[in-house]
């Protein structure tokens, strides 16, 4: 199996607030509400001086906010948090999709290359993934254009 994309690990980080407004104020101060990380690696086998086979493995992790006051919040606050959280998760999964699409073809690109050339192609692939991820965040304003902003007024209506 030349390309292995492991299941994405999801981790929660606590955000403490007694109301949706409290949590929204805390999250608004952050550069990013959630974070996606990827750890790609490859193992190459050689025949002489060239790569004869390569296996690329990618681990991904998404860190999402967990509102500690959720269970005592009002129903409208919970609905708005759920809407925000779902939009945020969809944005982060976009980063995961970028990692998958950029790394899934690298194994075949390494075959037939010298070890030095393969290392350069690997480095170029990682740079391309970072650039694509940065462009995705720029295009979506880190997901804000995709609904990752908490509407405090929605949490006050019924």
Closest by CA to 125, choosing from 100, 106, 147, 111, is 106
Extract the tokens encoding 150.
Answer: 């908490």
Closest by CA to 92, choosing from 124, 123, 65, 126, is 65
Burial call 93-114: b when 16+ CB within 10 Å, e when fewer: ebbbebbeebbeebbebbeebe
**Residues 1-60: tens digit of each pLDDT:** 599 999 999 999 999 999 999 999 999 998 889 999 999 999 999 999 999 999 999 999
* Radius of gyration from C-alpha coordinates of the chain: 20
SS3 letters across 32-65: CCCEEEEEEEEEEEEECCEEEEEEEEEEEEEEEE
**CA–CA separation, 15 vs 40, rounded Å?**
29
**Residues 110-139: tens digit of each pLDDT:** 999 999 999 999 999 999 999 999 999 999
pLDDT of the residue at 112: 96
pTM of the model: 0.93
**CA–CA separation, 153 vs 84, rounded Å?**
13
**Residues 53-96: tens digit of each pLDDT:** 999 999 999 999 999 999 999 999 999 999 999 999 999 999 99
């Amino acid at each position: 199996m030349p390309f292995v994309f492991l299941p994405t690990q999801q981790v929660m980080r606590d955000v403490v607030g007694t109301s949706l407004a409290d949590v929204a104020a805390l999250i608004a101060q952050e550069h990013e509400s959630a974070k996606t990380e990827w750890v790609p690696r490859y193992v190459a086998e050689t025949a002489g001086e060239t790569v004869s086979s390569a296996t690329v493995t990618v681990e991904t992790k998404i860190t999402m906010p967990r509102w500690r006051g959720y269970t005592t919040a009002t129903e409208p606050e919970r609905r708005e948090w759920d809407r925000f959280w779902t939009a945020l998760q969809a944005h982060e999964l976009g980063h995961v999709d970028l990692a998958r699409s950029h790394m899934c073809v690298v194994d075949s690109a390494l075959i037939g290359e010298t070890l030095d050339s393969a290392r350069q192609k690997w480095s170029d692939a990682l740079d391309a993934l970072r650039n694509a991820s940065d462009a995705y965040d720029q295009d979506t304003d880190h997901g804000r254009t995709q609904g990752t902003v908490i509407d405090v007024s929605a949490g006050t209506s019924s």
